[in-house]
Structure 1
């Protein structure tokens, strides 16, 4: 499967470019939508939580700490949710193409991954520019972001392929994923710091593989801290396991995908 992906690398790259162009075709703002969506969410959360509910972040003297914290966490979550959501439905959406054209089916989630990753890099660049208006310049710890990007995209890619294959045979999977992602978002310390979670619910955060991965972004962009290797061991193992199982499942189910579609 990896060899076939390499042989079709030009097809994958061309598809990624075409998808990015098509996403903003006839859009006057174009790539600015990569930034406007998370900025709108951040503005809403900031007004409601930091102004109305008087929420504050501990252990920091940065004036715009809460918006920076939100933007950092939302950037990480956006990458994860986009890859997972689109991979879950990609085989059904491209059913007509799969039936008519002979090509490695695994190219489809790879194209989704490449498109999401390209958009994410643009989003990070835009966020760093916005931080200048807050008077905040991240330190060298920003170099930890590629590690977070790798682990988050690997986890989302593995889970996305697994759910995408299952969704072909059981169409309820797509609806379930949408609900689970909403719950998963609120179980991840993005809108709130992990320190305020009550002890009786702390286990949910500890078992959440996305919590330490989102923390990479928050530590790097706001607090200037490098990630702790021990906290990333479990998420890395989960991501590796998800990718491995995804390849095994896809290889076994691939011959039946066309018939099921």
Structure 2
């Protein structure tokens, strides 16, 4: 583990430059460029707001803003977009960079870190735009500015642990990426992003709370929508799950790394 951390530190400039290149290459020939990173989730929020706002606004207690449901949606999408991007890109990060792994000698663990760094930059940009939108809607949660870095780190840690584990397995069994894309869509609807947990039958609440993303998204909603601080006790299981996933994924990565290049 220490060797891996030392390798990451030695290649820190490579990681930072790769993140910059990744962001540039994704929108190299696009006239709107990086704006697409922001416009896509905002468009999704706008669609859900138009379709569901009248149904859901009556079920959102504790906030009197007429745009309450749109604010709720933006808060949930802020957390989900970070999770979804890291996991979905980590699934194929080694497969997509197979030629690079064969031609250049560098710590392979740099690749998922570049993915996480790029996703975090996207998410910070979305957050800044979201704060502007909130201010335009008459809603400015000051406390969110304090808790957002904590939430982003927890979300990124959980996403990286899961994404790296599945990314390594996907090198050897390519069906995993296809299967997980379906799972992510189902996972989205099993997490209260576009609906409130209060509308779910009470008998299912305990089952819903087994979903780590339930607590992560709830954290975003509590801070961004209601202006509350995070309840540390709610996040203890999520942090433990994130650490366990990271340890397992790094262990599997170390064991599988020598064979990955041959398979690719």
Give the corresponding residue for 2:212: 209
Pairwise CA RMSD of aligned residues? Answer: 1.3
Give the corresponding residue for 1:232: 235
Structure 1 stretches of 4+ with a deviation exceeding 2 A read 51-56, 139-142
Q: What TM-score, normalized to structure 2? A: 0.95
2:151 to 148, 151, 158: 148
Paired with 2:176 and 2:58, the residues of 1 have a C-alpha distance of: 36
- From the superposition, tell whether residues 168 and 18 of structure 1 become closer, same or farther in structure 2 (CA, over 3 Å): same
- From the superposition, tell whether residues 55 and 25 of structure 1 become closer, same or farther in structure 2 (CA, over 3 Å): farther
CA deviation after TM superposition for structure 1 residue 53, in Å: 7.0
Q: What TM-score, normalized to structure 1? A: 0.96
CA deviation after TM superposition for structure 1 residue 3, in Å: 0.8
- From the superposition, tell whether residues 201 and 180 of structure 1 become closer, same or farther in structure 2 (CA, over 3 Å): same
| Further displaced range: 200-209 or 5-14 | 200-209
Paired with 1:179 and 1:126, the residues of 2 have a C-alpha distance of: 29
CA deviation after TM superposition for structure 1 residue 9, in Å: 0.7
Give the corresponding residue for 1:219: 222
Match status 1:130 vs 2:166: no
| Further displaced range: 55-64 or 193-202 | 55-64
CA deviation after TM superposition for structure 1 residue 147, in Å: 1.1
Q: Aligned with 1:35: secondary structure?
A: helix
Paired with 2:58 and 2:192, the residues of 1 have a C-alpha distance of: 14
Paired with 1:207 and 1:186, the residues of 2 have a C-alpha distance of: 15
2:105 to 102, 115, 133: 102
1:250 to 229, 233, 253: 253
Task: In structure 2, list runs of 5 or more residues that go unmatched.
Answer: none
Residues 188, 210 of structure 1: 8 Å contact kept = yes
Task: In structure 1, list runs of 5 or more residues that go unmatched.
Answer: none
| Further displaced range: 47-56 or 220-229 | 47-56
Which residues of 2 match residues 69-88 of structure 1 at below 5 A?
Answer: 69-88=72-91
Match status 1:13 vs 2:19: no
Q: Aligned with 2:8: secondary structure?
A: helix
Paired with 2:108 and 2:56, the residues of 1 have a C-alpha distance of: 49
CA deviation after TM superposition for structure 1 residue 62, in Å: 1.7
Residues 144, 216 of structure 1: 8 Å contact kept = no
- From the superposition, tell whether residues 54 and 68 of structure 1 become closer, same or farther in structure 2 (CA, over 3 Å): closer
CA deviation after TM superposition for structure 1 residue 142, in Å: 3.1
2:94 to 91, 99, 105: 91
Match status 1:27 vs 2:52: no
CA deviation after TM superposition for structure 1 residue 195, in Å: 1.3
